[in-house]
Amino acid sequence: MEWWVSMPKIELHAHLNGSIRDSTLLELARVLGEKGIIVFSDVEHVIMKNDRSLGEVFKLFDLIHILTTDHKTVTRITKEVVEDFASENVVYIELRTTPKKNDSIGMSKRSYMEAVVEGLRAVTSVDVDFVPHNFSTQDSLNPIVMNDACDGTKRKKIYVRLLLSIDRRETTEAAMETVKLALELRDLGVVGIDLSGNPVVGEWNTFLPALTFAQEQGLYITLHCGEVPNRKEVLPMLDFLPQRIGHAIFFEEEEWRQLKTSKIPVEICLTSNIKTESISSIDIHHFVDLYNAKHPLVLCTDDAGVFSTSLSNEYNIASAAFGLGKREMFELAQNGIDFIFAGDEVKQDLVEIFDLAAKKLN
């Protein structure tokens, strides 16, 4: 097995509906096609297209949401996504998703999230730890054990924590509803809030009250920041002091300076940035500048399904493009422990997992 696959990894920026398998998406489209709800031949090429601009990506998300937004499918894709990440030795993932409401099928933001949690419970290929230790009880529905398989070998385990996304199309009230839901679901592994959605839509001030409330209540915050040039938004976002930001592409000099001073960790999504043409070529990616400045960084997939990538692939790409060796890439993955939103017990466990793996590194 290649080292970038076998080494333990931490995923901190993965959108649930962006991580869906192509095969599942096509299957769902075919079923809706047969029911006459969509015309399959119209959407097949949209799903299979490889390179999309950022605008086209958001059109695809609208289609994905038509295909996936019922409770059973949400449960299924959650299970598949966690199993896919675990299969490439991701040992900790923060999965983010936008809670959706659809009155016509009796879906509320809460029932959407319950379907996600059901998906975590449905995973069979690996042990899933999603209930924070301070909330877990002996008769918890998901007992946290690193159980031995029948043959005496340890079973794989993945930690999963959830972030609820606020979509930039939402109103202040809708954003607040998501934050309140996150607070109610803390005992099911919700640790924070993400601001995402089409970056040319919506205004920072619309989301600020909900994000401020979330921060006051002790939820962690990560913001999509600087995906498009927006002088009105980047500095206020950095002033807000989120625990992490995603992308950080279109920054002006002053914004870079403030980012570096603040030491806010950046979630870097190489393939996503290149495929959406937000960055024209990997050799001018800001990863290099931030890495050389020892700025806190973590490699992530963004949308593994939509961009046909995996976290292992992102490590392989970074290694090849930036001339970093196995040991440097391992350290980069290990440093991610410092930026996770789960508690100290999980961090300690991850430290041990990486220490053990480091001994096998040659």
Tell whether residue 189 is a contact of ligand 5GP (CB under 6 A): no
- 3-class DSSP state for residue 286? coil
Tell whether residue 158 is a contact of ligand 5GP (CB under 6 A): no
C-beta of 123 vs 329, nearer to ligand 5GP: 123
Chosen residue from 15, 157, 161, 295 binding ligand 5GP by CB under 6 A: 15
Tell whether residue 18 is a contact of ligand 5GP (CB under 6 A): yes
Tell whether residue 242 is a contact of ligand 5GP (CB under 6 A): no
Using alpha carbons only, give the angle 287, 292, 295 rounded to the nearest 5 degrees. 70
With CB under 6 A, what is the number of residues at the site for ligand 5GP?
A: 17
C-beta of 6 vs 206, nearer to ligand 5GP: 206
79: phi then psi, degrees, rounded to nearest 5:
-60, -50
Which residues are CB-contacts of 144 (< 8 A; sequence separation ≥ 6)? Answer: 127, 129, 131, 133, 136
Tell whether residue 309 is a contact of ligand 5GP (CB under 6 A): no
Which residues are CB-contacts of 23 (< 8 A; sequence separation ≥ 6)? Answer: none
C-beta of 180 vs 347, nearer to ligand 5GP: 180
Chosen residue from 196, 215, 222, 313 binding ligand 5GP by CB under 6 A: 196
Contact between 146 and 324 under an 8 Å Cβ cutoff? The reply is: no
> Would you state the structure tokens that stand for residue 103, as one six-digit string?
């009155």
Tell whether residue 273 is a contact of ligand 5GP (CB under 6 A): no
Chosen residue from 7, 16, 120, 353 binding ligand 5GP by CB under 6 A: 16
Contact between 194 and 96 under an 8 Å Cβ cutoff? The reply is: yes
Contact between 187 and 135 under an 8 Å Cβ cutoff? The reply is: yes
Question: Of 83, 88, 227, 255, which is the active-site residue?
Answer: 227
Least distance to ligand 5GP from the beta carbon of 26, Å?
18
Q: Can you state the percent helix, strand and coil of the chain, rounding each to 5?
A: 50, 15, 35
Least distance to ligand 5GP from the beta carbon of 66, Å?
11
Least distance to ligand 5GP from the beta carbon of 94, Å?
13
> Would you state the structure tokens that stand for residue 261, as one six-digit string?
């001073």
Least distance to ligand 5GP from the beta carbon of 272, Å?
5
Report the distance separating Cα 121 and Cα 91, nearest Å: 17
Tell whether residue 199 is a contact of ligand 5GP (CB under 6 A): yes
44 catalytic? Reply is no
Least distance to ligand 5GP from the beta carbon of 207, Å?
12
Which H/E stretch holds residue 351?
A: helix 344-360
Report the distance separating Cα 272 and Cα 52, nearest Å: 10
Tell whether residue 227 is a contact of ligand 5GP (CB under 6 A): yes
Q: Phi-psi region for residue 336, left (φ > 0), alpha (ψ -120 to 50) or beta?
A: alpha
Which residues are CB-contacts of 269 (< 8 A; sequence separation ≥ 6)? Answer: 13, 246, 247, 299, 300, 301, 302, 314
Tell whether residue 314 is a contact of ligand 5GP (CB under 6 A): no
Q: How many residues does the chain have?
A: 362
> Would you state the structure tokens that stand for residue 263, as one six-digit string?
């030491």
Chosen residue from 80, 167, 177, 255 binding ligand 5GP by CB under 6 A: 167
C-beta of 6 vs 243, nearer to ligand 5GP: 243
| Interface stretch with ligand 5GP, choices 2-10, 192-200, 257-265, 348-356 (CB under 6 A) | 192-200
C-beta of 95 vs 353, nearer to ligand 5GP: 95
DSSP β-bridge partners for residue 299 = 268
Residues 50-109 that bind ligand 5GP (CB under 6 A): 61, 97-98
Positions marked catalytic: 227
List residues binding ligand 5GP (CB under 6 A).
15-18, 61, 97-98, 165, 167, 196-197, 199, 224, 227, 272, 302-303
